[in-house]
Structure 1
């Protein structure tokens, strides 16, 4: 196969001294799906920003189609035939599919091309959809279509601009199994038509399924490039992490305890007043992990927020050890031994301008253990932080390191350390491993299971269906704000079965769903 892209000896050092890339080499062949994997902080994102013209390398060379190139911005990269689909969709919700695809490059007509040619726009988009077999209605408004369809819109955006090399950043992060299968079918169709894809992901199972070759990065360096057919998940993880990673989650046999959390006919609306929780009832016992599955945007965030006091319920009751906690403040709820790992560690999980030490005591800073009158007990705080940093493997120079300077995985460990250190009787874990590498995922899973085995009740919300199935004892599925099923996590339960409920294709009886 012809070599399409070469990145040779790429270095990137930021003005603050941070070294992101330390001599990365990447070779991508025309017509292949090339997976790029590595731990958080391995340098994957920086490398792709350099490739797409969003960053300038400190040192190194890029060759495209055998010629040296320098991209001074995304427009340069696009003109050379590169396209990038970001993890977080960049779509205008109020515009149609076709309007999003052509945005900024609308077909024009008339004198001096003064007028937009709507007919040619629809004609071009329909032809594009037909050519690549991506099922979409070009006239549909983007806010009304599914997450999987939005993914297709993003891909069509780069194809419309003539991309032949497509970079996909964590493309399956919010997709159901069925939508992931459809995406992979689309990618295979593209490759058959001589398109080339760089596939960035943490999901090694998907790497093995979809890629032709794999490049592993570690600490800003290229470790090895492998032929997918000649390797395994175990070998890739060893190269990434430097040790064997346990892919199977080990759990003790469940010991069910008293009821900890009970929701009865809970309703809530979003910030625009749209109903997001509709008559939701569920029960979580001590010694149980109750997983919430669902495509993002179906009420998961609102469910967590009403339980933790961050959003007011518009109806129903939330019982914690038989006490209705609706109406209590966030602080009062936290003082009830309820731990909360929020879905966004940067905005609601941590204070980025504070130190690790300060973040570890955010909600207990006035406790006598850390405070004497107006004075902080700095020696005690330092000792406390050192123990937690060691226990939870937070990698930083000291507890005085600013939280904002940590990698995503290490910042997540700080949040988890704070929440688990209080020995919660109820742990609400929302997207606990989002954007975290496999080594950290293994550690976080082990800590969540440890709390379950110690008798805590765990409500787990995750867009990763494999995570829900690995950890949960029972699984509830939210669709359009309703709890459409509660399923025992038995060996014969499949991701495909849960996916049908997530897509609204199947719905259990409400009586069964609320048990």
Structure 2
């Protein structure tokens, strides 16, 4: 078989940790090859070695049968290797074309020829069905479109081998469907793809081969057609994984959160939440289902005090919390797992231990007379790291050094440990592997069973269906229907999320 890439016995070390231990991966021409592993298993590290961002301690890389030394990304580009990173590398106030040609600008008589470049971008965009406007500004286009710009960047530079790092982590369900079509088109046009992911559904749908790594060690490569999600999950986690969330019927208590006629405006002063009503009771999980951008973010920010409310009221256990400061709201019994863990969940340069007490550092025993007691802080952090299986060298490690999944577990540990009356979980499993998802779902259900109210906001429909007791569908800033999770399905929710009508009467 003709391999376009062979990574043979790759070893990559960082101080105190072996990230890749003797891993082999072979990519055949014209195939989509999945690289599967838990958060922090070493997937991105291995691909950063291939892209020249890291140098391996041991091992050999071959491109089309020839042994090569990839000392930096420019060498990778010259060898026809392109990488679409999980966190996009785009200049927000540049146009699509300006971003694509950056560092590789076509010139005539010493001047950059933007018109010629835009035409070239348009041609490539059409060839691969990417449908991107070359003259649009990055700040004005959706996340899905920005990702297409990243793909175009690699194609413009002549990449034959494309590495996608967790490409669906930030996309809506519709954008994921479109991306899968794009991947198929790329392969049809002769490209070869490595797809870093932990979403088993996508692997089964689009990949030919799958290499699994666990805790930095290669577990094996399987042909996807001969495998199953169950088998892949077991290879990845090292044990049987339960895909169906086990939970008993809820034991419902009093109203904890009561929202009446809430209006919240977005940054353009347009109502993003529009006269919204919602109640969440003790002992239940209410899931909010909706297409991204229908007011979910503004609703969460309003409840947690991060955004001003135009009108309406928010009651927590019959007490008004409308317009209070985030700290006051936190202290009155609200926990918040934010949708953007880097922006609102962590201080990345603080240690993981310090991040664990961000909500409580000013209280005893963590401080006394304004002086922090680091012994208590780090003792607490150690116990939470153990309980929530946060994979980190120790509690003093900076938060930014952890994988995305372990950063998420740290936030969840901090919020759940406080056992708030209302726990708001926004995209709690975004970018997490099946083992971590199973763990986090069990923690949310545990909170519910402890008599707490849980508000779950997620773009993953199967998560909303699996974990919620009731599902509130949000469309254009309003709750249009509230359904029993056991009595609905993806089709019905999909119709309501798109602004259609349910076939049933009533529903609330």
Distance 2:494 2:163 in 1: 26
| Native 8 Å contact 1:34 1:199 kept in 2 | yes
Partner of 2:72: 73
Distance 1:179 1:93 in 2: 20
1:448 is the counterpart of 2:444: yes
Q: In structure 2, do the counterparts of structure 1 residues 164 and 403 end up closer, same or farther at CA, with 3 Å as the change threshold?
A: closer
Partner of 1:40: 39
- Once the two structures are superposed, the pairs formed by residues 54-93 of structure 1 within 5 Å of their partners are 54-93=53-92
Equivalenced residues, count: 506
- What displacement does 1:100 show? 4.2
**What do residues 53-91 of structure 1 show as CA deviations (whole Å, max 9, x unaligned)?**
222222222111111222232222122211111223334
1:7 is the counterpart of 2:2: no
- What displacement does 1:408 show? 3.6
| Native 8 Å contact 2:285 2:455 kept in 1 | yes
**What do residues 448-500 of structure 1 show as CA deviations (whole Å, max 9, x unaligned)?**
011122221111122333322221233344456x2363342545644455455
Q: Which runs of 5+ in 1 are unaligned?
A: none
Q: In structure 2, do the counterparts of structure 1 residues 378 and 513 end up closer, same or farther at CA, with 3 Å as the change threshold?
A: farther
- Once the two structures are superposed, the pairs formed by residues 68-467 of structure 1 within 5 Å of their partners are 68-109=67-108, 112=109, 114=111, 116=113, 118=115, 120-270=116-266, 275-352=271-348, 357-368=353-364, 384-385=380-381, 387-396=383-392, 403=399, 405-467=401-463
- What displacement does 1:167 show? 1.0
Q: In structure 2, do the counterparts of structure 1 residues 466 and 45 end up closer, same or farther at CA, with 3 Å as the change threshold?
A: same
- Once the two structures are superposed, the pairs formed by residues 479-490 of structure 1 within 5 Å of their partners are 482-483=477-478, 485-490=480-485
Distance 2:496 2:314 in 1: 25
Partner of 1:506: 499
Q: In structure 2, do the counterparts of structure 1 residues 213 and 364 end up closer, same or farther at CA, with 3 Å as the change threshold?
A: same
Partner of 1:473: 469
Distance 1:274 1:105 in 2: 40
Distance 1:476 1:311 in 2: 22
Q: In structure 2, do the counterparts of structure 1 residues 204 and 359 end up closer, same or farther at CA, with 3 Å as the change threshold?
A: same
Q: In structure 2, do the counterparts of structure 1 residues 403 and 146 end up closer, same or farther at CA, with 3 Å as the change threshold?
A: closer
| Native 8 Å contact 1:95 1:141 kept in 2 | yes
**What do residues 354-404 of structure 1 show as CA deviations (whole Å, max 9, x unaligned)?**
555544444334545556667777776676555544432344566566655
| Native 8 Å contact 2:481 2:507 kept in 1 | yes
SS of residue in 2 equivalent to 1:88: coil
Distance 2:82 2:376 in 1: 52
Q: In structure 2, do the counterparts of structure 1 residues 402 and 115 end up closer, same or farther at CA, with 3 Å as the change threshold?
A: closer
SS of residue in 2 equivalent to 1:47: helix
| Native 8 Å contact 1:176 1:465 kept in 2 | no
Distance 1:513 1:483 in 2: 16
Tell me the TM-score normalized by structure 1.
0.87
**What do residues 217-240 of structure 1 show as CA deviations (whole Å, max 9, x unaligned)?**
112221101110111112212221
Q: In structure 2, do the counterparts of structure 1 residues 79 and 421 end up closer, same or farther at CA, with 3 Å as the change threshold?
A: same
Distance 1:385 1:107 in 2: 53
Distance 1:21 1:13 in 2: 7
Tell me the TM-score normalized by structure 2.
0.88
Q: In structure 2, do the counterparts of structure 1 residues 100 and 499 end up closer, same or farther at CA, with 3 Å as the change threshold?
A: farther
Q: In structure 2, do the counterparts of structure 1 residues 5 and 425 end up closer, same or farther at CA, with 3 Å as the change threshold?
A: same
- What displacement does 1:190 show? 1.7
Q: In structure 2, do the counterparts of structure 1 residues 360 and 32 end up closer, same or farther at CA, with 3 Å as the change threshold?
A: same
Q: After the TM superposition, which of the residue ranges 210-219 and 456-465 deviates more from structure 2?
A: 456-465
- What displacement does 1:152 show? 2.8
SS of residue in 1 equivalent to 2:46: helix
SS of residue in 2 equivalent to 1:226: strand
| Native 8 Å contact 2:173 2:460 kept in 1 | no
| Native 8 Å contact 1:484 1:501 kept in 2 | no
Distance 1:488 1:202 in 2: 30
- What displacement does 1:347 show? 4.7
